[in-house]
Amino acid sequence: MADSTAMNKGLLALTLPDDVRDAIADWRQWLSAERRASDHTTENYLADLYAFLGFVREHRGDTPDIADLLALNPRDFRSWLARRSMDGMAKSSTARALSSLRNFYRFLDRTGRGQNAAVNSIRNPKLPQSVPKPLSPQDAIAVLDNAGAWQDEPWLAKRNLALFTLLYGCGLRISEALDLNANQRPTGDSMVITGKGNKQRLVPVLPIVRDAIEDYVRTCPYAPNGNEPLFVGARGGRLVAQVAQREMRKIRGLLNLPDTATPHAMRHSFATHLLAGGGDLRTIQDLLGHASLSTTQRYTSVDTERLMAVYQGTHPRARR
């Protein structure tokens, strides 16, 4: 599926007018250099834009140039949203794609290529308020205990343990962990993490996290150093999220955990277990790097569910 998407994107890029290709190249450079977007974020933005351009070509009957893109009206954008809905795309995916388009159009305006007000008149899809699905403390520890049980190479097992211990012990997003370079790994009691929107936050580091990372670095045959990636794959390149997710699927199979047990669930578990242990929301918000307290407040419903389960199972009146 990923190869097919890349192929389609490549074929479309070959047929685009020069002004669109130049704008995309400049936008990509701006995202990386000015916005300091991660490679993962940049590729997602580009994939969203290429998918939209493919729709516009089909919708109009020809490949659009910049003038065509600037002339699109609200009805065109609503047709695109309707197509995504018909194709079964998740609302969260469509919301991200719309954000990518707005970013591209803002770039066109900023670089003097022209404006399109219609894209900003389109409302975001209404997203259901998702409730985080953390692991229990016992399952989170079991994940770490089995992080590389199937690996023939000891260093790969240590890499998995270091990565998942970092997610659970520090509450990092998987993208934040994988974007770390060797010289950014924790050497003391805290580390600086650059999160969404290029915002930095100070995260405390437990000794067990630091020790797991150092143990991995010592045994890694690629000896990560300086500006080289901290977490690497079997061939020495920067570890990608898909591989981390695949490793977690293997752990799920070993432990018979639900599909909600993902690398990101380790971050959810970090927050939920802190809250259950008496942590206050503001502190947890800072640790997670949430821009809004309302995002962090989702964890209170998770903790309430846990308390109700305990109540239902232990309170004498609840068992009547």
Catalytic status, residue 84: no
Intra-chain end-to-end CA distance of the chain, in Å: 53
Q: Residue 269 is encoded by which pair of tokens?
A: 């578990």
- Percentages of the chain per state (helix, strand, coil), in multiples of 5: 65, 5, 30
Active-site residue, from 173, 210, 268, 273: 173
Q: Is 28 a catalytic residue?
A: no
Whether residue 299 lies in the annotated active site: yes
Token digits of residue 277: 């242990």
Q: 228: how many CB neighbours lie within 10 A of its CB?
A: 14
* Given 91, 196, 238, 306, the catalytic residue: 196
State which amino acid sits at residue 223: A
List the catalytic residue out of 158, 159, 252, 264: 264
DSSP string, 145-196: HTTTTT-SSHHHHHHHHHHHHHHHHH---HHHHHT-BGGGS--SSEEEEE-G
Known active-site residue 113: no
Structure tokens at 91: 């609302």
CA angle 11, 13, 18 (to 5 degrees): 140
Q: Is 273 a catalytic residue?
A: no
> From the candidates 84, 252, 273, 290, which is the catalytic residue?
290
Kindly state the tokens that stand for 71. 């002339």
**40 in active site:** no
Q: What is the DSSP string of 182-244?
A: GGGS--SSEEEEE-GGG-EEEEE--HHHHHHHHHHHHH-TT---TTSBSSB-TTSSBP-HHHH
The residues near 177 (Cβ < 8 Å, ≥ 6 apart) are 163, 166, 167, 231
User: Is the separation of the CB atoms in 213 and 185 below 8 Å?
Assistant: yes
Which position among 84, 159, 267, 273 bears the catalytic label? 267
CB 200 within 8 Å of CB 192: yes
Q: What are the residue numbers of the active site?
A: 173, 196, 264, 267, 290, 299
